[in-house]
Amino acid sequence: MKDVELKEVDQAKQPMTREINGCVKVTVPENTGVKYGLSKDELIKIAGTAGWIRTRWALLVLFWLGWVGMLAGAIVIIVQAPRCKPIPEMNWWNEGLLYQISDINAFSDNGLKGVEEKLDYLSQMKVKGLVLGPIHNVQADKLDTLNLTSVKPEVGTENKIESLLEQAHKKGISIVLNLTPNYEGESVWFKSFTTVAEKIKEACTYWLNKGFDGIFLSDLGNIKETDSWSSIQAIFNQTDKTKKVALMGSVTGLTVDEVSVLLNQLGVDLLLTGLPDPAKSGEKQAEVIQKLYSGNLQTSLGWSLSGRTLGSLASRAPAVPVKLFHTLLFTLPGTPVLNAGDEVGLKTGEKPQTMWDLKNPDEETNVTAKALQEERIAMRNFFKALSDLRAKERSLLHGEYVSLYSSTTSLAFLRLWDQSERFLTGMNWGNDSVTMKLTYSDLPAQAQVRLSTDAANLAVDRMVSLQNLELGPKQAVLLSYPYAG
């Protein structure tokens, strides 16, 4: 037993590690007198030698030379970089889509409360403002029944209006009240401009104090001649409001030259013109757009091809696919204004409530109904994609307009802003294919498809040639390409 114990002691003295019963013993050798490294005093002594002093000075000089060089390089880059163009002044009605709900009970079974219930849907469509009504009491062509500060009982109450305004503002949606006086009669102004204009002035003050973000008036061609017009304008020029309220209006049946004159004379914040006319040729539409744009009144220009008196897009131009007009309205300089139901191609007389019945097409057993559901859902998705782009792309928000091509049945134009991505719109509403030869100093050889009505030949994200852009019958495309410097 003693021999065994002695062996274990001898093994424990070995300067090696060994595992015994799962444990590792490490023996630290005794100090052999060997010295490792330099002491503190020795390091200080060596660091004070001439060689090390020169080395440290050289490294310090190199560091500061490198730092100064980088600073100088950054300054040169900043100085030589192209200046960003200042963003023009934008008001809320220039920042996105305006959506007209003329017949509130047709839009929803629940009147003003029903509109409030659809605010989430409108927010998803990137609607920036609602043009609501008219909702006041009046009998057709009877001036003595006009009460511009009332609300029709079948539509709702003032409490419902206040609730709608509160919820809409929480979602970033402004609401404009349509105060067109005789909206169901022969003449919207009862052929008595002076008398009605005074009532309009009182009603503007009343409803703006209730929280509305603007007032809309139809047929503004003659009211500018009344004594009350300047005092109506003065209501909207108050500077004590944190958010600017808008005076909007519309004119119909006027030439482009007459509209240009009115845009300068009326002084409204937004004017809807009903131009360009879908029945006219591409050359005529290009001429109209160019004339209206050249007046530098882009922020005061609203594009509206549908509405209470014009009808829906689908009914106004039945030979032209609605998607083509969606593409045109969302990509022109100015504010797109569409009517309730235009996003899914509803026809005049067809209740907008149909929009809320768009369910899964696979649930439909009727082949025709299923096809219609698929078509309307696809149209709504196309509309939403356009609205998304219009709300976030600077070239589409406030970019310059450049006409590239026009023919009897086709049109192409460019929107560009400073160093932002460029957007090119092309459309062909004819029955035959068209090849557009596009020339402009800024154009590259190819551009990317962002949206298209022709998924087979112009699929999204595909690169297409701009030398000879071919569009099939009844087709439209939105292309983009980066700023090249």
Read out DSSP for 317-330?
STTS-HHHHHHHHH
Reduced DSSP (H G I as helix, E B as strand, rest coil) percent helix, strand, coil of the chain, to 5: 40, 20, 40
The first and second tokens of residue 357, run together, are 């019945």
d(CA 418, CA 327): 22
The rounded Cα 134 to chain-centroid distance in angstroms is 27
d(CA 329, CA 324): 9
Q: Please, which pLDDT band fits residue 4 given cuts at 50, 70 and 90?
A: very low
Beta-carbon contacts of 167 under 8 Å, excluding residues fewer than 6 positions away, are: 116, 119
pTM, two decimal places:
0.81
Q: Which amino acid is at 137?
A: N
- 455 close to 479: Cβ distance less than 8 angstroms: no
Domain spanning 93-393: CATH superfamily: Glycosidases (3.20.20.80)
Helices (H) and strands (E) in the chain, counts: 15, 20
pLDDT of residue 225: 76
Question: Can you spell out the DSSP letters for 328-368?
Answer: HHHHSSSEEEEETTGGGTPPTTS-GGGGGG---GGG--SHH
Range with the poorest average pLDDT among 155-159, 222-226, 393-397, 479-483: 222-226
How high is the mean pLDDT of the chain?
Answer: 85
CATH fold, domain 400-481, is: Immunoglobulin-like (2.60.40)
d(CA 394, CA 299): 14
Q: Is the pLDDT of residue 125 over 90?
A: yes
- Range among 55-64, 116-125, 230-239 rated most confident: 116-125
Average pLDDT over residues 46-64: 85
Helix (H, G, I), strand (E, B) or coil at 413: strand
pLDDT of residue 77: 82
Q: How far apart are the first and last CA of the chain?
A: 94
Q: Please, which pLDDT band fits residue 6 given cuts at 50, 70 and 90?
A: very low
pLDDT of residue 364: 62
Average pLDDT over residues 151-165: 94
The first and second tokens of residue 370, run together, are 């299923």
Range with the poorest average pLDDT among 14-18, 239-243, 266-270: 14-18
Q: Is the pLDDT of residue 463 over 50?
A: yes
Average pLDDT over residues 73-102: 84
Range with the poorest average pLDDT among 55-59, 131-135, 415-419, 444-448: 55-59
Which position has the higher pLDDT, 45 or 389?
A: 389
pLDDT of residue 436: 94
Domain locations in the chain? 40-80, 93-393, 400-481
